[in-house]
Structure formats: structure tokens, C-alpha cells
Amino acid sequence: MTRPHELTLAEAAAAIAARGLAPSELLADCLERMAALNPLLGACIRIDAEAALTAARRLDEEAPRSPLHGIPVGVKDVIDVAGLPTTCHSALRLHHVAARDAAVIARLRAAGAIFPAKLATHEFAIGGPAFDLPFPPARNPWNLAHHPGGSSSGSGAAVAARLMPAALGTDTGGSVRHPASHCGIVGLKPTYDLIPRRGVFPLAWSLDHVGLLTRTVEDAALMLEAMAGGHYRAGIEAGLRGLRIGFVRHFHERDEPADPEMAAAIEAAARLLAREGAVLREVTLPPLSAFAAVNRAILWGESAPVHSRWLREQPEGYAAITRRRLLPGLLLSAEDYLEAQRVRGPLRAAVGAAFREVDVLLTASSMDPACRIDDPAAVERTYPRQARIAFNVTGHPAITLMAGLSRTGLPLSCQFVAPLWQEGLLLRAARGYERAVGWRGARPPIA
């Protein structure tokens, strides 16, 4: 028989609604899973089993509030959960206890979600993977020697390894979609400001997005309904026929030439979409280097006020990699920051113009499969080789999905992007691809 932790969110929700599965049964099985695998994965930095079980038993007695009723949801440890530490994976925040729930936690709690664990992140959502922090870095369940992606690293590892059906992350330059790429799951970054950021420790306020990770597109739609309101499942089964998809091939061919296996997987995704009835046309956007330069300057400029005091007074409190990534912000001039914001407008306009000709974009997500986690040179080389950062600059909704496996058994990926506020259209395209490609059954060896 299928154990509860193996169920997708949608399957677990249906079983709970039919009274065939109690929230406490689902949670107990997930907690058992965490106890067995987390010592290997390092995905959870705090498991709050007693409080979660108390909440689950209370929900056992209630009529289901929503499809999220009794569903365990992991929380990236930059997001406040009342009464629990929000450490940001840092020695500088070990004793900071949240006084109240973040806005997104409050919404999910009202829908009946349970929060059994705070999950590993790169320090302050920027510095990692690092081994000089209070908690170890999360590892990739497809191969424990490899990087799971970041900065929502624990969220990706936990969902892929089936410790829980869904998890929250944040995404400033791709930090939800990167773990989705490397862990073979679904990572959704909604439109900027669709999900409120109150109670989320900031990295760069005008680039930060609250996002989510799940095992299926349907599960992502269910999560988004609870997080943002709306009926995002409506129409996701409409299929690909007649959908106009713009293929941004130059991202992975010329701007950041992708690993051959990754490039082949993206090209195969395009051919499959066409076979399913989508109308593909090649689209040209500004080069990735332009988006990356703007993202970098804005991130430095907006992170500096958050970290300037610690950087000056307690620099030794950071991991070395975090300190190195944050320090340039102290040297950035106001002129440089404002110039990046000026250039941002035309970049956003260029992406918006593409959507006058097509409904959805298809692009690369990562340019490489996951590298070894203990190879700093490989991490530094591959980390910026991605096409996610463009859509933090522009704020457009984007979703990453699995697009195959490399010869060494590591996930390959692709990305869909939609017009602003068109998450329903984005989920329709992603679901059409997911249904056609059949990767849903793929699971990491540890799972």
C-alpha cells in the first residue's frame, strides 16, 4: 500500500476530504520520514514535531477547510513562524524568535496547513552552500554528494525526498527555481508582490518573491490558491493545443552556452510542446548578461542597508562566502543603484513586448546539472549560469520543471514564463508539458 508520505498534495487532500486519511496520520508518517532521512539530507534545521502533532490532532476533528487542511508544509528559515526561531541559517540570528506569523504563514495556517519544520537555506538567502555555519548545508537527494540548488536548498531537498508534500521558499535571483531544477521538482515564483513579504527576512526588497516547491503542477496550483487567493486550478487541464509559446533559444545557445545534456533536454521540451499542438516561434530578448548586471547592482544596493551594521561590527559572524557576496554592497554608489533601476525599465518592457506576440515563454532554467557540493570552484562556476534571474528583474511569474535526467542520474530542467499576473496561464502550460512528458513518476534514489 502507498504510504502517506508518498502521496502528492492533491492525493493527500483528497484522502483527507474523504476521511480515508487523518491529518495526524499523514504528519506522523512524514515525521518518521524526516527522522530517517534528515541526518543524511540536512534539509530540516528544526523539526517542531510536538506542536505540529498537536495541530494535526485538532484538525482531525474538523471538517476540511481547504485542500491544504492537514497538509505538512516546510518553511524556509527566512520566513517567520510565530514562536520559532528565524535563524536565516546564520550564527547572527540563532536566538531570534518570531513574535508572529509571516503573512504567508497566516494564510496557509487559516487554510489548515501544518508547519512541522524550518528548512535549511543558504545564509541570509545568499551565502552558500557553506560548511562554516551553525547548520550543515542541505544535500541533493538524487546524489548526496551534489548541490541541491539554492538558496531554498532545504525546501527543494525536503520535497524531492518526500519529507513533506510542499515547502515555501524565497526567490531573489532564482532561489526557488534553482532547487527545483537540481532536485527534479516544481518551483514556482509568482508575479512580484502577488504573495506578501511581511515577516520574510529581506535580501533585496524589489527583487524578493515568496515562492513554493511541490512535486506536481497541480500541487503548485493548490498551494498558490491558499497563498494568494484565486482559482488557479481552473483551466490547467486545458492542454497545449493552440498555445503560442515563444522559445528563447539564445539564452542557452549563445548567452550562457548550456551543458550539452541540458541543452538537449530543453530542445526536446520544445519539440514535445509542438507535437502537443502548441505553436512555437523563436523569441529574442535582451542578453542574459544585461539582466544579470541589473540584478547584481540592485541586490547589492538593497542588501547593504540590511547588513551594513553586522558587516562592519561582526563580519566574523558570517560564513566566508556570505561575507564575500555581501561586501560589494557597501561600495556601491547611489548613482550605480539608480542607473540599474533605470535600465530595469527597458528590460521589463522588452519582456512585456514579447507577450504581445506569444502567450508563454520557454527558456532554460539552469545551464548545468547539479555539481558536487564540496567543490567550491564548480559551485562558483555553475551558480550564475542560469536564465532565472531575468524574471526577478522584470517580476514576471515563472515556473521550473524537470525535463529529464543526465547520464549520471541528475535532473535536467526547463522554465516557463507568463505575462504579469497570469499564473493560471503559466500553470496551464506547465501542466500540459508535465502531462505530456511523464516525468512525474521519476524519484530520487533516496526517496
Residues forming the active site? 76, 151, 175
In this structure, what are the phi and psi dihedrals at residue 69, rounded to the nearest 5 degrees? -60, 115
411-417 and 398-405 beta bridge pairing: antiparallel
Cβ atoms of 35 and 28 closer than 8 Å: no
The verdict on whether omega for the bond into residue 151 sits within 30 degrees of 0, i.e. cis, is yes
Residue from 265, 217, 213 nearest 403 by CA: 265
Burial of residue 134 (CB within 10 Å: 0-12, 13-18, 19+) is: middle
- Produce one character per residue of 402-418: b if its CB has 16 or more CB atoms within 10 Å, e if not: bbbbbeeebbbbbbbbb
Three cell numbers written together for 159: 520535497
- Partnered with residue 19 across adjacent β-strands are none
Cβ atoms of 32 and 23 closer than 8 Å: no
Q: Which residue is associated with the grid cell 555553475?
A: 382
Residue from 229, 233, 190, 186 nearest 210 by CA: 190
How far apart CA 215 and CA 8 sit, in angstroms, is: 7
What is Dmax (Cα atoms) for the chain? 62
